Structure 1
């Protein structure tokens, strides 16, 4: 038992990873922090906002007898009620680095969803650029302070299907016109990210 979780279902060869205390790397899909408090609900559940800006629902989860998500009323939220807090990237990376020292870390997913629209042949996703810049700048601070961050993967290259909101919820750096032969239109965030990578390489490598 670990933290009250029954791990008896694990195979013996998988348990060796815990016994040796070492893995090749840690991969993290990172989007937001999750503030938690005591479980007062008594029932495990997950809450999602699948109506976007048409609803005030807040994303969160409850694990019976363990914790329940808490809401920071002062924190910025996206249109689906998910918190937007750039410094959480830094806090999360330092936490992982302290918990698993000398272990490379990869951010295997990180991005921002929005209702993107094409205007005059362009997609000016200012909000995505602002939020992604914040996440990446805090990642760089963590790396400067010694966190072994080896890679970062933006989610995603192109708009795709969201299991909560279908094709209305867009994550991509490239807009996909699903109603016009899947035409690809690079967004403002696409050009910004390209420039960010180029400037980072010149400045830090």
Structure 2
């Protein structure tokens, strides 16, 4: 077995810092119609093979629905404190409204039991992009009523499981739901309409606020928050065009979701830029959205590189790119976190809820060597510690992802896992990065 030790950076993280890994329901569970589960918009989206790079779907994925005990065993062997996962709404409420599916809730009940038996804390995300198709048939997130159906769902989950879960996030990356699902049709439900995407973003924020209220009414002791994908936006040059482009990009992405939650309004720069596409907002909406949150989940993968030139100037990518083509830029993480700390005085404790890289990994001699991923994680942890040393209250880090999985419109062609999955046999193989992460966590516990 490969042994990897390389901890030569300022790694004196607090002893109570949470170390975890993350997954999402549609990407790993499979069992897409088992035990009464209804179809989601991703099940529907995958029916058109042209939507997915390799023509695949999530029917089986990692078969986690049937192999969850094995996967929790892997979690236990890694020594992580916590596991971040999402619930498939259509598994527990097949149409997204009406009757609950007890068999679906039974799966998550068993998963929570298994996590508890292994002393692993559960961090649940209510929505990771797999809207029940029944709600999509009624207009999906473009229909304001979906926000109220989401609140009903959140209340029921908090009522049933709230005392067994460490933290509950309402949404994962609503920017993606709106911009990739409705803005450019890369993701389900496959709509390309800028005005719709911006209205959807508002309904997602509204649903977050309504869900926060509903879960608090259920008296859940879990920490409640939201998970946002965030980045800095850097101008490629010092030109006014590039600087303006970067300012608008930051306003329409990071500030677009942060300002309503913490300031009770949308950023003026983004509203001006959206013009006639700006969302319809009803009186009282921001009062609902601006609920106090117990934590902010931050997903960080890259910065935005803004060039108004034609063709655009490429990002420098001094540390290379991932298999997704994303620039590796760890310094953007402390820059982002320090910017958030300055802009939002009410910023609660932060968790890095996703960070990781896709890499073209293969099994050789029963091992998977992925030094690029180890370097990626090390550099981002070093950057994270820099932000913490400068006063940002970060409580935990969740590596994306535990398993290779269904990477949305890329299908199974991209591997983000620290555990390799042979999709033909469902064989799990710990990569070198998993072994490194295990040793790293153990060293932190030992006070190294």
Q: TM-score range by the shorter chain?
A: 0.7 to 0.9
Deviation (angstroms), 1:74? 4.8
* Contact 2:330–2:383 under 8 Å retained in 1: yes
* Contact 1:110–1:155 under 8 Å retained in 2: yes
In structure 2, the CA distance between the partners of 1:195 and 1:114, relative to structure 1 (3 Å rule), is same
Alpha-carbon distance between aligned partners in 2 of 1:10 and 1:157, rounded to the nearest angstrom: 39
Q: 1:164-197: CA deviations, max 9, x gaps?
A: 32112100111111012x0111111111111222
Alpha-carbon distance between aligned partners in 2 of 1:17 and 1:98, rounded to the nearest angstrom: 24
Residue matched to 1:172? 417
* Of 106, 109, 112, the match for 2:351: 106
Return the TM-score normalized by structure 1: 0.74
- Larger strand share, 1 or 2: 1
The structure with more radius of gyration: 2
- Larger helix share, 1 or 2: 2
Deviation (angstroms), 1:100? 1.6
Deviation (angstroms), 1:79? 3.2
Q: Over the residues paired in the alignment, what is the CA RMSD in angstroms?
A: 2.6
Alpha-carbon distance between aligned partners in 1 of 2:410 and 2:290, rounded to the nearest angstrom: 41
Any stretches of 5+ residues in structure 1 without a counterpart? 42-67
Residue matched to 1:35? 305
Return the TM-score normalized by structure 2: 0.36
Residue matched to 2:408? 163
In structure 2, the CA distance between the partners of 1:74 and 1:169, relative to structure 1 (3 Å rule), is closer
Q: Which moved more, 1:195-204 or 1:93-102?
A: 195-204
Q: SS of the residue aligned with 2:269?
A: coil
In structure 2, the CA distance between the partners of 1:74 and 1:140, relative to structure 1 (3 Å rule), is closer
Paired residues for 1:55-66 under 5 Å: none
**Paired residue total:** 175
* Contact 1:108–1:152 under 8 Å retained in 2: yes
Q: SS of the residue aligned with 1:167?
A: coil
Residue matched to 1:184? 428
Residue matched to 2:280? 9
* Contact 2:357–2:373 under 8 Å retained in 1: yes
Deviation (angstroms), 1:159? 0.7
Deviation (angstroms), 1:12? 4.4
Paired residues for 1:1-205 under 5 Å: 2-5=268-271, 8-16=279-287, 23-38=293-308, 71-75=314-318, 76-103=320-347, 104-180=349-425, 182-203=426-447
Alpha-carbon distance between aligned partners in 1 of 2:289 and 2:300, rounded to the nearest angstrom: 23
